[in-house]
Structure 1
Amino acid sequence: MAHVFLICGHGAGDSGAVGNGYQEQERVRTLGARIKALGGDYVTLADTSKNWYKTAGINTLTIPKDWQILELHMDSGAASARGGHVIIKQGYTADKYDNALAKMLKEILPGRSNMIVGRGDLANVNRASAKGYGYRLVEFGFISNANDVKIFNSRMDDIAEGVLEAFNIPTKRIKQIPGKAKNDNQLWYRAHCQNLGWLDPVHDGQTAGTTGFSTRMEALLLDIRKIREENPDAKLSGDFHVQNIGTVHLDNIEPDTLIGTIGKSLRLEAFKLHLTGVPDKKLYYEAHVQDIGWQGVRKDGEMAGTTGQSKRIEAVRIWVE
């Protein structure tokens, strides 16, 4: 995965393009903040109080050469003009990041015939090239087009997540799983993942962890206090198989019971859960496993994951019905 150095265009008194009640400098800073929030430590958000074009900030920038610079903009034109695209240095060949960004833009903000365009007349494109930095400028649609603005605003997290996925960066976004989460937030859980630490809590069939980023889940917290409000005798127990440790049985899992390990770089490989004291509900769960993907739903007491295969669990979903 890459590390992204994120520049938000215009600012410092320069509004950039204006249209449909919005200023470009404000919109791209809002998007930049979401990309940073969802990308965490894999994203460095450049000083948003600066105008990186007018100050020629790239000329004095010192970052690792394997970092990737992404500059955020919105375009302006006729009210009918729409769509996003990627701008790279003229004469350069688009790399995998450019192509992935273009693919995302074509799906979310379509309208351009050329999704990747080479330019030799843009200052920051040339400055980054002169310093040997990987760079691209992305126009996230036309601020002068009402539909593009509507998409930009309503699907900002989709766009931010698409940017992160283009650079193979795990996202901290919580995704709703269709068909699940029908139980009034009864079962909450939280994953601790390689390089990411604790992710935000999720509930009732939502995904905890990551998929597609080869990131191991190292620990898990489970919370059934909402279930106990209606079922005081509810009790959660389980068996958990951890790399180099083996299977650990936990008889009474409380919200602060650590399942797995932290700081030891050990993968969680398998688990089974057992819920008692709730006669009208059944417990279900599934694991996303290295080289396998989602294994399929397991019910109360069945094993999810693998043992003896040195495969990491990468994500889980847990719910009661």
Structure 2
Amino acid sequence: MKLNGNVSKKYNVYYRVHVQDYGWLDWAKNGESAGTIGLSKRIEAIEVKLVKKGENAPGATNRPCVEPKLEYSTHIQDYGWQGSKYDGEISGTIGESKRLEAIKINIKNAKYAGSIKYQTHIQDIGWQENKSNGEISGTSGLSKRLEAIKISLTGEMSEKYDIYYRVHAQDYGWLGWACNGQSAGTEGMSKRLEAIEIQLVKKGANAPGDTNNCFYKK
């Protein structure tokens, strides 16, 4: 949405949208994108305001448009592959005592060169070799639990972003946030992973939460 002619010299046009599952997003202005990209979410309402040049925006302007950077999916005991989750959403289950058996992770809409790699610790197997860019890490049809995971970025992506992740582990609940290849989960304790959250954070910015106690090893 843009203004034309003389009015565009005196005013900025601000607009925000109410999106399925997200609610109100932040304010966009003067032709910026508002809504979601690649998530199949409908716009349910829109608000538009004219603001004089030089005056403050009507509200927050941090996230007027949601375009996922990360896509991940887990294979869950008794359920199989769960639908894709994005950018910090929970993949897996909580309170159902279901083990994660495999995971695949991919970077979406990458603006920088590089990839994502990840490694899982599997019941009776130990640390599996690194997988990357949507490959399956773990097992399917073997009833083996994931017990821990490491995730890291490569190339220019690793220079621009930190990758944070935390797991929900049997008997522990949510552990602290691990970062850039650290182990998250448990090793040698026979505890299943039940859910995971993954987030990309701009390099050097604050962690999404507590980073203590992200991993336990016996």
If the length of structure 1 is used for normalisation, what is the TM-score? 0.41
Amino acid corresponding to residue 133 of structure 2 in structure 1: E
Higher helix share: 1
Q: Structure 1 stretches of 5 or more lacking a match?
A: 1-181
1:246–1:183 Cα change, 3 Å: farther
Question: Quick check: 1:276 aligned with 2:154?
Answer: yes
Equivalent runs, 1:2-151 vs 2, <5 Å: none
Q: Which one has the largest radius of gyration?
A: 1
Question: Quick check: 1:213 aligned with 2:91?
Answer: no
Name the residue aligned to 1:189: 72
Name the residue aligned to 2:169: 289
Counterpart secondary structure, 1:220: strand
Render the CA deviation track for 1:96-152: whole Å, top value 9, x for unaligned. Answer: xxxxxxxxxxxxxxxxxxxxxxxxxxxxxxxxxxxxxxxxxxxxxxxxxxxxxxxxx
Q: Distance in 1 between matches of 2:143 and 2:149?
A: 18
CA contact (8 A) 1:183 1:320 kept: no
- The list of structure 1 runs, each at least 4 consecutive aligned residues, that deviate by more than 4 angstroms after superposition, is none
Amino acid corresponding to residue 148 of structure 2 in structure 1: A
Question: Quick check: 1:201 aligned with 2:84?
Answer: yes
Render the CA deviation track for 1:295-318: whole Å, top value 9, x for unaligned. Answer: 011111111000100000000000
1:262–1:183 Cα change, 3 Å: same
1:314–1:276 Cα change, 3 Å: same
Q: Distance in 2 between matches of 1:209 and 1:183?
A: 22
- 1:231 pairs, out of 103, 112, 116, with 112
Q: Distance in 2 between matches of 1:280 and 1:247?
A: 28
Render the CA deviation track for 1:280-308: whole Å, top value 9, x for unaligned. Answer: 21100000000000001111111100010
Amino acid corresponding to residue 254 of structure 1 in structure 2: N
Render the CA deviation track for 1:229-261: whole Å, top value 9, x for unaligned. Answer: x112x12223210001111121x5022x11100
CA contact (8 A) 2:76 2:92 kept: yes
TM-aligned CA deviation for residue 183 of structure 1: 6.9
Counterpart secondary structure, 1:306: strand
Counterpart secondary structure, 2:199: strand
1:198–1:190 Cα change, 3 Å: same
Equivalent runs, 1:240-255 vs 2, <5 Å: 240-250=120-130, 253-255=132-134
Question: Quick check: 1:320 aligned with 2:203?
Answer: no
Name the residue aligned to 2:23: none
Amino acid corresponding to residue 301 of structure 1 in structure 2: G
Q: Distance in 2 between matches of 1:219 and 1:207?
A: 15
Name the residue aligned to 1:302: 182
Q: Distance in 1 between matches of 2:109 and 2:190?
A: 35
CA contact (8 A) 1:183 1:204 kept: no
CA contact (8 A) 1:239 1:272 kept: yes
Render the CA deviation track for 1:37-61: whole Å, top value 9, x for unaligned. Answer: xxxxxxxxxxxxxxxxxxxxxxxxx
How many residues align? The count is: 137
CA contact (8 A) 1:187 1:222 kept: yes
Percent identity of paired positions between Structure 1 and Structure 2: 38
Q: Distance in 1 between matches of 2:66 and 2:102?
A: 24
CA contact (8 A) 2:118 2:137 kept: no
Higher strand share: 2
